[in-house]
Structure 1
Amino acid sequence: MNAQTTKQLPIPPHFDAKVGEVWRVPYQQRAADAREWAKKHQISAAAEDKTRICLLLIDVQNTFCIPDFELFVGGRTGTGAVDDNLRLCEFIYRNLGVISAIAPTMDTHTAMQIFHPIFWINDAGEHPTAAVTMITPEDVHQGVWKVNPAVAGIVGVDYAELASHALHYVKHLSEAGKYPLTVWPYHSMLGGIGHALVSAVEEALFFHCIARNSQTQFEIKGDNPLTENYSVLRAEVLESVNGRPIAQKNTSLIQQLLAFDAVIIAGQAKSHCVAWTIDDLLTEINHTDANLAKKVYLLEDCTSAVVVPGVVDYTDQAEEAFARFAAAGMHLIKSTEPLETCPDFPKIGNG
């Protein structure tokens, strides 16, 4: 039976809700389970979908989602990302027959990048040691923090130019109304456990891939040493101090997203990579057709804001951003809502 339906499916029996732990996905067994599940529930291949739905997952990686990892997004509850991912996995399984494609972004870093401690030193030759260090234009101009000379050759820019770029960079962030340059703990390190997807989410994505014959589309971001890259659609700064391009917009993904009938977005963190990605998507939509915002759905119960107790709390900023997205026409929905009841959700019927 070749049909696409919004009918919600049961949760497969293999799902045991271990979303706050790291473990190995049993691929061969899950592949067999997925094929049998598709047969039992008459789930057709995604290529046959008449209505194309994309689930864009932002940085659902161990480094942000597992307690005691480098940048666990606990939100104000302290268990934010864990709770979010339980709901997210259940959403994927229940809507397996509706979701045509899943695109997870992968925050991907090495040590010597502009937002990591080794990049910066003070007059004593010390690197930032606070849980989170904000660097302002005044800090750089006054020499409170300076570029580490040892980094220059490694990132392929001589020291004088790199120092000029650093000042240009923090000024640009300030002038553009962005968050100040934030020096985070080393996180999402390429080759490390923190870089990997949360095991339970990876399992759900693999199950979807096999059941629907839909290749998971991994989107790498954040590997440029000269700029932050909260959004998967564009880096924070695209040009160096001399106007030389240092990064480009992710034009291919932008075009793909705008071509879907609906785009559903979730992930971490609501205040940073999720908000910045949605903001960039909204900018592209407004440049194309503002009505396209109506086909974007934000799973607001599958995302949490950055909160470092006693240091920073970005919850209010995250809520303000989501209110702005809703005012622009995007829809704030819960993962438990049947998709067919969501406002403006495209009609899905038999293929």
Structure 2
Amino acid sequence: MKTPLHEVFDEHHIGLPSTIGMNELLGKAVLEGLSPASDDSEKILFLAIDMQNDFMEKGELAVPGSHQDVWNAARFLYSHLDKITQIAVSLDTHQPQQIFHPIWWIDGDGNHPAPFTIITPEDVLNGKWRAVNHPEESLAYVRKLGEQSKKELCIWPYHCLEGTYGAALESQFANMVFFHSIARKSTPLRIVKGKDPLSEMYGIIKPEVSHGDDAGNIELLRELKDYDRVIVVGEAQSHCVLESLRQILAHYESAADITSRIVVLSDCMSPIPGFEQSTEDAFAQLQEKYGITITTSTALKL
């Protein structure tokens, strides 16, 4: 018994609380009559990076185009419920007091930086910006960020604060994730990232600046090897999706049989404004270097 898509996913409520009760929804999933995911001969992972309310178009760190991205991803999942073995979701998870939020820094007049302010090591050394707490560690971080990650510290709007609605998985997409879970008897993987107060963490494997010899989420990297295909969607394409891919591909740089399994659905992700061209260039480079597939949700057939 195939449940109509509109009974699982309401495209008019993307970014808003779900109007469908979870017990009603999952009761319908039981009736799908699909084989368990454990029976799949081809193992396919659907990896959704930071599909959270705060990255939706009315969220605290809104990504233009995110509603259409969620809609495209949901339709793809619905059309391939019987083929997707497992869904993994990452959740950007923060506290107000983190190095990339305004409250961490003040200028000479005691003002906090506006969102999207860039703070360089020189800014800290000359007193343009001062860390309210952990000044030595903060300066060291800004320096290492440039050395290790080739980035500058960006102050972001407060977003994805743990326990808030903004930090939750977008409700309509969540409906689809849990519907799949019941219909296929497959438990979603949950990847929580970004809780270190002294580091940004765009990628799902490790923070921008690692402490000591932290190798990152080795368990997840090992998990990825178990799948014949890994399909990637998420927000924002220019930051968390891009950095997640970079980290995974760098880890498996010498294993073309693994990197070639990665499929990016370009119509299920959007960049933060101002990063369009650099994002397009970066993805093209990853495609050329690692042999990943970049396609769309309508073109990919499983």
| Band of TM-score, shorter chain | over 0.9
What corresponds to 1:5 in structure 2? none
Q: In 2, Cα distance between the equivalents of 1:34 and 1:299?
A: 25
What corresponds to 2:233 in structure 1? 266
> Percent identity over the alignment?
35
Aligned residues of 1:10 and 1:93 also touching (Cα < 8 A): no
Provide structure 1 residue ranges, at least 5 long, that are not aligned to the other structure.
1-8, 75-79, 150-161, 308-312, 341-351
Amino acid at match of 1:71: L
CA RMSD, aligned part only? 1.6
What corresponds to 1:154 in structure 2? none
Q: Secondary structure at the match of 2:202?
A: coil
Provide structure 2 residue ranges, at least 5 long, that are not aligned to the other structure.
none
Q: In 2, Cα distance between the equivalents of 1:284 and 1:175?
A: 19
Relative to structure 1, is the Cα distance of residues 177 and 189 closer, same or farther in structure 2, using a 3 angstrom cutoff? Answer: closer
Q: Secondary structure at the match of 1:22?
A: coil
What corresponds to 2:219 in structure 1? 252
Q: Secondary structure at the match of 2:233?
A: strand
Amino acid at match of 2:266: E
Aligned residues of 2:3 and 2:28 also touching (Cα < 8 A): no
- Does the alignment pair 1:333 with 2:295? yes
Aligned residues of 2:259 and 2:291 also touching (Cα < 8 A): yes
What corresponds to 1:133 in structure 2? 117
Q: In 1, Cα distance between the equivalents of 2:259 and 2:4?
A: 30
Q: In 1, Cα distance between the equivalents of 2:300 and 2:117?
A: 42
Amino acid at match of 1:330: I
Aligned pair partner of 1:194 in 156, 159, 166: 166
- Does the alignment pair 1:173 with 2:145? yes
Q: In 1, Cα distance between the equivalents of 2:35 and 2:256?
A: 33
Amino acid at match of 1:268: E
Aligned residues of 1:123 and 1:144 also touching (Cα < 8 A): yes
Aligned residues of 2:119 and 2:129 also touching (Cα < 8 A): yes
- Aligned pairs for 1:56-75 (under 5 A) are 56-65=47-56, 67-74=57-64
- Aligned pairs for 1:52-131 (under 5 A) are 52-65=43-56, 67-74=57-64, 80-128=65-113, 130-131=114-115
* C-alpha deviation, 1:10, in angstroms: 8.5
- Does the alignment pair 1:320 with 2:277? no
What corresponds to 2:12 in structure 1? 18
Amino acid at match of 1:69: G
Aligned residues of 2:93 and 2:162 also touching (Cα < 8 A): yes
Aligned residues of 2:242 and 2:283 also touching (Cα < 8 A): yes
Structure 1 ranges of 4+ moved more than 6 A? none
Residue by residue over 1:2-40, the C-alpha shift from the partner in whole angstroms, topping out at 9 and shown as x without a partner, is xxxxxxx8853413313533113411111111112x22x
- Does the alignment pair 1:297 with 2:263? yes
Relative to structure 1, is the Cα distance of residues 63 and 23 closer, same or farther in structure 2, using a 3 angstrom cutoff? Answer: same
* C-alpha deviation, 1:106, in angstroms: 0.4
What corresponds to 1:155 in structure 2? none
Aligned residues of 1:326 and 1:332 also touching (Cα < 8 A): yes
Q: In 2, Cα distance between the equivalents of 1:323 and 1:10?
A: 38
Aligned pair partner of 2:41 in 39, 44, 50: 50
Relative to structure 1, is the Cα distance of residues 171 and 208 closer, same or farther in structure 2, using a 3 angstrom cutoff? Answer: same
Q: Secondary structure at the match of 1:18?
A: helix
* C-alpha deviation, 1:316, in angstroms: 1.1
TM-score between the two structures when normalised by the length of structure 2? 0.94
Q: In 1, Cα distance between the equivalents of 2:277 and 2:225?
A: 29
Q: In 1, Cα distance between the equivalents of 2:4 and 2:284?
A: 31
Larger deviation: 20-29 or 188-197? 20-29
Aligned pair partner of 1:31 in 12, 19, 26: 26
TM-score between the two structures when normalised by the length of structure 1? 0.81
* C-alpha deviation, 1:271, in angstroms: 0.4
Amino acid at match of 2:168: A
Aligned residues of 1:11 and 1:94 also touching (Cα < 8 A): no
What corresponds to 1:146 in structure 2? 130
Aligned pair partner of 1:226 in 185, 191, 198: 198
Q: In 2, Cα distance between the equivalents of 1:30 and 1:119?
A: 42
Amino acid at match of 1:335: S
Relative to structure 1, is the Cα distance of residues 335 and 236 closer, same or farther in structure 2, using a 3 angstrom cutoff? Answer: same
Q: In 2, Cα distance between the equivalents of 1:63 and 1:45?
A: 33
Q: Secondary structure at the match of 1:272?
A: helix
Relative to structure 1, is the Cα distance of residues 177 and 234 closer, same or farther in structure 2, using a 3 angstrom cutoff? Answer: closer
What corresponds to 1:159 in structure 2? none
